A and B are shown apart, each in its own frame.
Chain A
Amino acid sequence: AQKVTQAQTEISVVEKEDVTLDCVYETRDTTYYLFWYKQPPSGELVFLIRRNSFDEQNEISGRYSWNFQKSTSSFNFTITASQVVDSAVYFCALSEAHDYKLSFGAGTTVTVRA
């Protein structure tokens, strides 16, 4: 069975600080997909990024960057120069190619203080 662990429950930073969210996963499939979602206080779930198991290239999108390392089964997410609008709950998730069902981590609440 697949499993996603987000060990950090809450992170609080001051604006402009960098923040890194950890995600560790378990799966027996060789083909799988990893995701990050953002859930702001308004409640909607916003898709941020998808990575498949064969693509270990790191990715940068604006102030967001992702580090995927199969050797350690980790898919970490960094917000550079955080802003108050980054305050949200961030979920890491995994799906396997045979059914696409998402398994979510427990989520990390990020609070950015002005």
Chain B
Amino acid sequence: SAVISQKPSRDICQRGTSLTIQCQVDSQVTMMFWYRQQPGQSLTLIATANQGSEATYESGFVIDKFPISRPNLTFSTLTVSNMSPEDSSIYLCSVLGPYNEQFFGPGTRLTVL
């Protein structure tokens, strides 16, 4: 399976600021996704990161709040904008594997004060 890294692994931020999370894969992948896991909850898909075009967002998530870039087949970023304490979560990127399984990065644990 692909090796996926995320930066930062964790951060503590002040409300009203923005944080950009990076996801790097060691091989080219067709599909990349971003998920959010709120404290004690399951994972929820934020968006599908499309290479060379705008991301496809799920209901309840908007580009102004969670802008996503995917400049190539191995890299994507998710920005959490104008943060509030409700944005405190683990943010995970994933990639689609050869048998339609998804492999996840280690996650970015975000705390907003």
Q: Which residues of A contact B (CB under 8 A)?
A: 33, 35, 37, 43-45, 47, 50, 52, 91, 95, 97, 99-107
Contacts and interface: CB of A to CB of B under 8 A. Distances in A.
B23 interface: no
25 contacts: A33-B100, A37-B104, A43-B106, A44-B106, A45-B104, A47-B1, A47-B97, A47-B102, A47-B103, A52-B100, A91-B42, A91-B43, A95-B100, A97-B100, A99-B48, A100-B96, A100-B102, A101-B48, A101-B58, A102-B45, A102-B94, A102-B102, A105-B42, A106-B42, A107-B42
Given A43-B109, A47-B1, A107-B42, A100 B100 contact: yes
Interface residues of B, number: 25
Interface in B73-113: 90, 92, 94, 96-97, 99-104, 106-107, 109
A33 B100 CA distance: 8
A71 B31 CA distance: 31
B33 interface: yes
Contacts of A91: 42-43
Contacts of A52: 100
Given A44-B107, A47-B1, A100 B31 contact: yes
Interface of B: 1, 31, 33, 35, 41-45, 48, 58, 90, 92, 94, 96-97, 99-104, 106-107, 109
B33 to A, nearest CB: 7
Given A33-B100, A45-B92, A95-B100, A104 B106 contact: no
A35 B103 CA distance: 11
Contacts of A100: 31, 96, 100, 102
A64 B110 CA distance: 33
Nearest to B44: A104
Contacts of B58: 101
Contacts of B104: 37, 44-45, 47
Given A45-B92, A47-B1, A102 B43 contact: yes
